[in-house]
Amino acid sequence: MSAKRTLESLPRGSSVANGSEAGGTAQPIRRTGGPQLVATSLLAPGSHVERNPGTPLDLDVVRAIRVNRSAVERRAATIPSRRTVKKDWQAAWLLRAITLMDLTTLSGDDTPGFVRRLCQKARNPVRRDILAALGAQDLDIKTGAVCVYHAMVPTAVDALEGSGIPVAAVSTGFPAGLSPFEQRVEEIRQSVAAGAKEIDIVITRGHVLTGNWQALYDEVKAFRQACGDAHMKSILATGELATLTNVARASMVAMQAGSDFIKTSTGKEPVNATLPFGLVMTRMIREYGEQTGHVVGFKPAGGIRTARQALDFMTLMKEELGNRWLQPDLFRFGASALLTDVERQLEHFVTGRYAAAHRHPMI
């Protein structure tokens, strides 16, 4: 008897090792032609949650937030070992990881041709022979979005037409966020007008470092209004905020101001997405949800290059927020190199051999 055992079938808090669940009998997926790793419904976008409308700024809540750094680091250190995902289970999780990626190019040498090729990779992120061997050829695997600078938005929108893949634009003076305020707001409006469905804004780090929470709230709220129907991800640049308490407070203010997602980094800071930052931010998402009933997504970005790192962040989401945060409308990776390693791991699962990275080019 074969069983379609997927990550969504796992109870929260269970331990997975070599395809088995703690407290139960393992039901591995049998390889009949190719393992049926995931049901179509698992990879399809979930019913989209109602957008976070924000709340009035509550300085009492913000100032009461304190973070115990040593406790966070101890807890974060246990996350990679809490779920040892192997074999069929790992392949299923990695297929899911692809659907959670914002495939990204944010380089000074970006060209329209490069962006078009990246968009083609977003449409077809895994070689068809690998998908066929996995029994996943009919699952319409594609990335969660393509993320580019404003100048490349029209090119990406045209290249992705009919795919259902949204274009995300970094904005508001990315990465430093220090251009004149009205210019930053206008940049959002122009990207939305050009067809971007998601806007990744950057906050003014100085507001956090000086404790000017009202200024941060007003800034993010103005950006949210400029986004209109486009979903907004607020980049906190956690590596530049000095303390985990600042990261937590900035997360709360950004959510109160109406952010649809909070995001760790621009990818340009010396320290980018780490599990301690992720743990603090997901705890704030949970606390904000308990206080308001509103749901906010999370996006780690910067330095996530390996399948192992992706699995660690997916484990964090499952442990802290539950399965619902393993859908692309509530969780994304900022990824420019991650897809190559995920595809290599999937080929290894199929063939038992690791391919050289150049066999899985991004473009």
- What is the set of active-site residues? 200, 263, 299
DSSP state of 210: T
Measured between alpha carbons, how far is 314 from 323 in angstroms, rounded to an integer?
9
Cβ-proximal residues to 132 (8 Å cutoff; 6+ apart), any chain: 34
Give one DSSP letter per residue of 269-297, joined into a string. Answer: SSS---HHHHHHHHHHHHHHHHHH----E
Residue among 153, 143, 135 at smallest CA distance from 38 = 135
Count the residues in the chain: 363
Q: How far apart are CA 109 and CA 101, in angstroms?
A: 22
Three-state SS at 5: coil
Residue 151 token pair: 């100048």
**Token digits for 135?**
């029994």
What is the separation of C-alpha 247 from the centre of its chain, rounded to a whole number of angstroms? 17
Instruction: Tell me the C-alpha distance between 217 and 299, whole Å.
Output: 20
Q: Which residue's structure tokens are 């909070």?
A: 262
Phi and psi for 145 in degrees, rounded to 5? -170, 170
Q: Find where tokens 């966070």 sit.
A: 72
